[in-house]
Amino acid sequence: MRTGKRIVSTLSYAAIVAAIALPTTGIAQAAGDRAELAQRVVELERELAEAKAALLAAQESQTAEESGLGSGIEIDAGGSGTLEIGGAVRVNYVLGDYPGGGDAPSRGGHGGVFELDTFRINMYYENGPWMAKGEYRFYSGYNFLHTGWLGYQVNATDHVEVGMTRVPFGAGPYGVSQSWFFDQHYYVGLADDMDLGVKYRTERGDWAFDLAYFARSEQNWRGGTERSARYSYDVVAEGGVGYEERNQVNLRAIRSWSDGADRSGEYGASFQLGELDGVGGLDDETHWAASLHAVTDIGNWKLGTQLSYYELNGVGDTTTFGAYDFPVETAAKAWVPAVSVSYLVETRSLEWLDSVRPFFEYSNVMKPEDGLNDSAFMTFGTAFARGPWYVYLDWVFSNGNEFVGGEVPYGDRLGRNPNDEWQQRINLNFGLYY
C-alpha cells in the first residue's frame, strides 16, 4: 500500500537521523551542521504528519475487511498534489425465509436470487497537509453520496475533517463487526453513521480523542422515498411528520495497548448528544447515546465487544429511521450489546486464496418499554480474500431486522416487533475492488 510504504520510509529516515545524532552527543558541531540536521528533522516530521494523515484517510475510507483491496488509479498532478480514483462492484446471492418474496429490501424468496449490492466510486486527493475524500454509491433504484469531506493535518498528531464524514462513536469506524451485515448498532444509527459537520482528532501517547459537531444528518438523495435515500440510519420525518437530527456533539476516547508479544487491542468510551427538529407541527426534542467498547487481538483471534444505550426523548415508544430508500419504525430507547469473534487464517500454500476469516457475531436491541419485543441478530459467516476480490458467506438469524424478514414496507421489526419471529437468510456477497 503506497501510504504504508511512505510511513516506513519516513521512519527509516528518522532512525538514520537518530543514529547520526547519538554518537555526536556532547561533541561540538559546526553551526552549519546543526542547522542542517535541525532542518532535516523538521522535514521528516512534516513527511510523517502527511503520511499519517494519508493512512488515517485510507483507514476511514475502507472497512477492516477491505483494507489493501483495490489500489485504484493514481494521478500525479505535480505541484497540485495526487488524486487517487478507485471503487468497487459487489453482487449478492440471497436465499431467505420470505414466503412470496415481496418488495422489501434484498428479498431471497423463490429459491434464491442474484442482485446488485452496490457500485461505488471513491476519490482521494492529497496535497501536502491538505486532503479530501469522496465516495458516491449506486444501488438498484436509488443512489447517494456516502462521503465528502475536506481535511487538514495540523501536525503529526492532530487532524481535522469538514463535510460529510463519519461520526466518531463506538469501536472504530464500523463497530465490532466483521460481517457483511454489521451488527444491530448500525441499524439504530450508532455505527458507520455519516453526518454533515466538523471532526477533530488528536493523539496523546496511547490515547486517541475525537471531538465532533454535526449540524445535520445526511440529506435525502435520489430514490423513491422523501427522506430515506441515504446510506446511514438516521431519524427521519418520512411523510412530512416526524423528526430530523441536528446540532449533534460527539466525544470519543480510545486507548491502544500491546504486551509486546502477540496480544494487543483498543478500549474506550463514546458519547453523543443532539437535538431532534420537530417537523409537521411537532415540538423539538433531544437524543443521546453512550457506549463502552473494546477490541482485542490474541494471535490470529479477534474479539470485539460493545455495550451501548441510546434514548430519543419525547418521541413516543418508537419513531421512524430511514436508510437505503426504506423507512422503518425503531425503538426510541434501548440497550444494544454486541459481540464478535473471528479467526484469521492466511492461506499461503494456496495460490488462489490469500486468507480466510470465519466469524460469529451476536447483537440485540433490548427495549425497556412494555409492549416492545427485543430484536436479536446472530451471524455465522466466513470472509474469503484473494487479490482484489473479497467474498462474504453469511448465514444470519434474526427476530428483528428488516433485511432478515419483514415482508412489508415501513416495517416495525426494530420497533414493536409484534411477530417476534426468528427467520434466516443465507447471503453470498462477491466484491471486486479496483
149-163 pLDDT, tens digit each? 999 999 999 999 999
What's residue 386's pLDDT?
95
Find out whether 235 and 242 touch, Cβ atoms under 8 Å: yes
Name the average pLDDT for the chain.
85
Pairing of strands 263-279, 285-298: antiparallel
- Single-letter amino acid code for the residue at 384: F
- Single-letter amino acid code for the residue at 229: A
Q: From CA 79, how far away is CA 165, in angstroms rounded?
A: 27
Question: Which bin fits 87, alpha (ψ -120 to 50), beta or left (φ > 0)?
Answer: left
Residue appearing with cell numbers 447515546: 289
- Give CB contacts under 8 A, 24+ apart, made by 105-113: 105/324, 105/326, 105/402, 105/403, 106/403, 106/427, 108/425, 108/426, 108/427, 112/426
What's residue 62's pLDDT?
43
Share of the chain above pLDDT 70, in %: 79
pTM attached to this predicted model: 0.84
Find out whether 226 and 220 touch, Cβ atoms under 8 Å: yes
Q: For residue 69, is pLDDT > 70?
A: no
Lowest mean pLDDT among 6-15, 78-87, 115-124: 6-15
Which phi and psi angles does 198 have, rounded to 5°? Answer: -130, 140
Q: Which three cell numbers stand for residue 273?
A: 448528544
Lowest mean pLDDT among 77-86, 131-140, 159-168, 298-307: 77-86
Q: From CA 172, how far away is CA 176, in angstroms rounded?
A: 8
Ranges of beta strands (E only) in 97-206 are 113-127, 130-139, 142-153, 158-166, 194-204
Find out whether 180 and 429 touch, Cβ atoms under 8 Å: yes
Give the containing element (helix H, strand E) for 254: strand 242-258
- CA 213 distance to own-chain centroid: 18
Class of domain 75-433: mainly beta
Residues 268-286, mean pLDDT to the nearest whole number: 97
What pLDDT band is residue 2 in, cutting at 50, 70 and 90? Answer: very low
What's residue 55's pLDDT?
46
Sign of CA dihedral 60, 298, 340, 368: negative
Q: For residue 411, is pLDDT > 50?
A: yes
What's residue 172's pLDDT?
84
Lowest mean pLDDT among 170-174, 177-181, 354-358, 361-365: 170-174
Q: From CA 288, how far away is CA 299, in angstroms rounded?
A: 36
Q: Regarding predicted confidence, which is higher, 78 or 283?
A: 283
**b/e map of 131-146 (b: 16 or more CB within 10 Å)?**
bbbbbbbebeebbbbb
List, for residues 252-270, the tens digit of each pLDDT value.
999 999 998 899 999 999 9
Residues 383-398, mean pLDDT to the nearest whole number: 96
